Amino acid sequence: MIYEPIDTTIEKLGEATIPSPAGYEYYTKDSAVVLYKAIFDNPEEVNDYHAAKPTFFEQAGPREKIYFDPQWVTAGIVTCGGLSPGINDVVRAVFMELHYRYKVERVLGFKYGYEGLTRKHGHKPILLTHEIVSDIHNDGGSILSSSRGGQDPAEIVDFLIENGIKILFTIGGDGTLKGTRAIHDEIKKRGKKISVIGIPKTIDNDINMIQKTFGFSTAFSKALEAIKCAHVEATGAPNGIGMVKLMGRHSGFITVNAALASKEVNFVLIPEQDFDLEGEGAFLPILKQRILKRKHALIIVAEGAGQKFFENNDMTDASGNKKLGDIGVFLKAKINEYFRKENIAINLKYIDPSYMIRSVPANAEDSVFCGFLAQNAVHAGMAGKTNMVVGIWNNVFTHVPIDVAVAKRKVLDPKASYLWRAVLSSTGQPNSMIARE
């Protein structure tokens, strides 16, 4: 197999010549890199990889020389898209690093996502202070609030210039990063020196070339509460079925990790693994076998699973994402209908905890992780990096070009993933639930 090298070059506004005021004892060099591929199937694959020029990520961290003179810097922070545990932790950590390490006096928070970066919506920026941000990590949601949908990049850049912004930190997922790239392109077209740095926020954990996004750990940990309740309901009645729908439009990472943590789940349905409802070897007949044998079953399904059953749905949301058919409500109806036809009485309880999961405060692991992401974002911005997102790869924090991060969705591969293999072992469900001819 011949590997195509990936361009992971990080764009810079210019040469960094100003000694950093951050006062760290150790600084990261731009030459410090993180190898993209660390696991190979055989020695020949190693040779092919190195022959094709290996892909490296630039390592994140504070630089000894920075681009911006802190006394002239006004920084901005905006949070976009859906809520996620840890947003306030990130906002707080960005402010703290800018203010106390780099001595940046003026940090503005923009309200309601990209709407807050245009004059026409009338949302006034907030001058962030220690008193405002000191305790916000204890709360869920975003102190800056959020919104979906894009705005005109030209209007946004006008607003950034009007407010004297030198570094803009955008906290969001795939759609937010595409918006960040559009803002960067407009800035570059005008020849302005404004850095734009993305901080990855999506509990789905589906951003390309980034090992983990903040909020993910809290999300699947919180999901366990709903799964435990569903298990109690399933085992508390004859032929009980508990079903929980979890978030995950394109990727089943939350669902899979929640199942592995629970140890009680019998069926896991994710977007990456196709399944049929009826016919030999399909989901409903296998569920019937489980009910007849064990008298209860616990199902968790990702919101993006089974979307082939809604093929005529062409609606999109404000961010341009395709609106998903409600697989939870659909499956609830299909399961009840199937067992009625089979003349088997069941007790089905359906739980959708999605908005409870994404609106809670970050757990301890995510809170620490948010701090690392935010601090490294500040280091990158002050050093004059731009058009990039802070990530983590092989457990080392990295700089990832936005073009690479949004090139495709990160998904779980059921044929090769150790996670899916572990799910099959934990649940006992078949490798495939596609109806046989």
Digit-coded pLDDT (tens) for 353-378: 988 898 999 999 999 999 999 999 99
| Mean of per-residue pLDDT scores for the chain | 93
Q: What number is the average pLDDT over the span 278-300?
A: 97
pLDDT in tens, 95-127: 999 999 999 999 999 999 999 999 998 899 999
Q: Is 366 annotated as catalytic? A: no
d(CA 167, CA 383): 10
pLDDT in tens, 408-418: 999 999 988 89
Top-confidence residue, 299 or 41: 299
**Per-residue pLDDT at 41 exceeds 80:** no
**Per-residue pLDDT at 36 exceeds 90:** no
pLDDT attached to residue 354? 86
Q: What number is the average pLDDT over the span 230-245?
A: 97
**Per-residue pLDDT at 1 exceeds 50:** no
d(CA 67, CA 384): 5
Q: Is 346 left (phi over 0), alpha (psi -120 to 50) or beta?
A: beta
d(CA 389, CA 110): 19
d(CA 5, CA 212): 22
pLDDT attached to residue 312? 67
Let me know: does 335 contact 226? Beta carbons within 8 Å.
Answer: no
pLDDT attached to residue 35? 87
d(CA 88, CA 145): 10
**Per-residue pLDDT at 284 exceeds 70:** yes
Listed residue (212, 169, 203, 187) closest to 75, CA to CA:
169
Residue 365 has φ and ψ, to the nearest 5°, of: -65, -45
Amino acid at 194: I
**E-only strand ranges, 83-215:** 106-110, 126-127, 165-172, 195-200
pLDDT in tens, 148-197: 878 899 999 999 999 999 999 999 999 999 999 999 999 999 999 999 99
**Token representation of residue 385:** 């990096």
d(CA 325, CA 314): 10
d(CA 208, CA 408): 6
Top-confidence residue, 320 or 164: 164
Amino acid at 279: G
**Per-residue pLDDT at 40 exceeds 70:** no
pLDDT attached to residue 220? 87
Q: Given 89, 174, 204, 352, which residue is catalytic?
A: 204
Q: Could you give the domains of the chain?
A: 11-214+362-405 (3.40.50.450), 219-357+415-427 (3.40.50.460)
d(CA 371, CA 346): 47
Listed residue (250, 226, 241, 356) closest to 302, CA to CA:
250
Q: What number is the average pLDDT over the span 49-55?
A: 71
Let me know: does 200 contact 391? Beta carbons within 8 Å.
Answer: yes
pLDDT in tens, 197-208: 999 998 888 999
Top-confidence residue, 45 or 272: 272
Buried b (16+ CB within 10 A) or exposed e, 70-101: beebbbbbbbbbbbbbbbbbbbbbbbbbbbeb
pLDDT attached to residue 311? 77
pLDDT attached to residue 434? 94
